[in-house]
Amino acid sequence: MPLSIATPLLESLPLSRASGARVWMKMEAMQPSGSFKIRGIGHACERYRADGAQRFLSSSGGNAGLAVAYAGRKLGVPVAVVVPETTPERARRLLREEGAQVTVHGRSWSEANAFAQSLKTPQDAFLHPFDDPLLWQGHASMIDEVVEAGLRPDAVVLCVGGGGLLAGVAEGLHRNGLDSVPIYAAETEGMASFNASIQAGHLVELPAVSGVATSLGARQVCARAFELARERPIVPLQVSDREAVDACLSFLDDHRTLVEPACGASLALLYRQRIALGADANILAIVCGGSTATIESLSRFEG
């Protein structure tokens, strides 16, 4: 049995009304680990275990780490996650509840990540949060499900952190003969590493990232995401933190599902009519989910 589930594909009247097109939601927020990440990470963990891995290592205090912890618990493989001191107590608790051994090390993610790498023995598998072809293969299954359900979308809306979701969705569209379908790729202004690379014409590492959409916080996207922008139609767009949070709050009212501001960034493209497609167009919105937001943190947001 795969670690991820086949998620609902739902038509959204509120998002259709707001955007002026027909919007279909792929409800990845319903995944057992709270986000789409378990598709790719679950696929990779199953492969690594079959290849003999005796422990899974991660340096993510976010949804990638949660997906690794969930996969390890289900597969009976111990999981160690190294997170920096900046990781909120709630995130540490969620990881421990999944049975992961959580080590706090360093003041930044790069210090925690370096320490995690130093722990790695030949029996360990290290799970990268976005830059691994096994992840993209796993993420692609969400598009297989959409096509099996009978929808061949005219456009896809998603968000970009390190670009693993983008690479996986592009792979899923490719293997279903949908290479010409444009992908609208949202980032928040403070986390716009994909936008920066596209503008520069080469891979750019941002000196710093900032803002509320912490799951989009990769300072540089993976090379595959950048290559894809040359191979197929991808439209990079930016929203403000305020727009991303407002989209989360509207989505909670409209669909009774709490998602992170990272996910809100893509929903904001629809709520704010940033994509001009005709009323007959079928837009597939990847509701990527996320476990790090609370109602309190969203309603308290100022900016």
Ligand X SMILES: *Cc1c(COP(=O)(O)O)cnc(C)c1O
Which stretches of the chain bind ligand X, using CB under 6 A? 35, 37, 63-64, 130, 159-166, 215-216, 218, 260, 262-263, 288-290
Measuring CA to CA, which residue among 10, 24, 32 is closest to residue 98?
32
Q: Minimal distance in Å, beta carbon 36 to ligand X?
A: 7
For ligand X, the closer of residues 22 and 62 by Cβ is: 62
For ligand X, the closer of residues 15 and 216 by Cβ is: 216
Q: Minimal distance in Å, beta carbon 301 to ligand X?
A: 16
Please list, in sequence order, all residues whose beta carbon lies within 8 angstroms of the beta carbon of residue 44, skipping any fewer than 6 positions away. 125, 127, 132, 134, 135, 138
For ligand X, the closer of residues 106 and 289 by Cβ is: 289
Q: Taking the mean position of all CA atoms in its chain, how far away is CA 298?
A: 19
For ligand X, the closer of residues 40 and 84 by Cβ is: 40
For ligand X, the closer of residues 57 and 258 by Cβ is: 258
Q: Minimal distance in Å, beta carbon 121 to ligand X?
A: 27
Measuring CA to CA, which residue among 71, 75, 47, 227 is closest to residue 137?
47
CA atoms of 41 and 128, how far apart (whole Å): 9
Buried residues in 121-145 as b, exposed as e (16+ CB within 10 A): eeebbbbbbbbbebbbbbbbbbbeb
For ligand X, the closer of residues 23 and 288 by Cβ is: 288
141 neighbors 172 (Cβ within 8 angstroms): yes
Q: Minimal distance in Å, beta carbon 123 to ligand X?
A: 27
Q: What percent of the chain is helix, strand and coil (3-state, nearest 5)?
A: 45, 15, 40
CA atoms of 288 and 117, how far apart (whole Å): 28
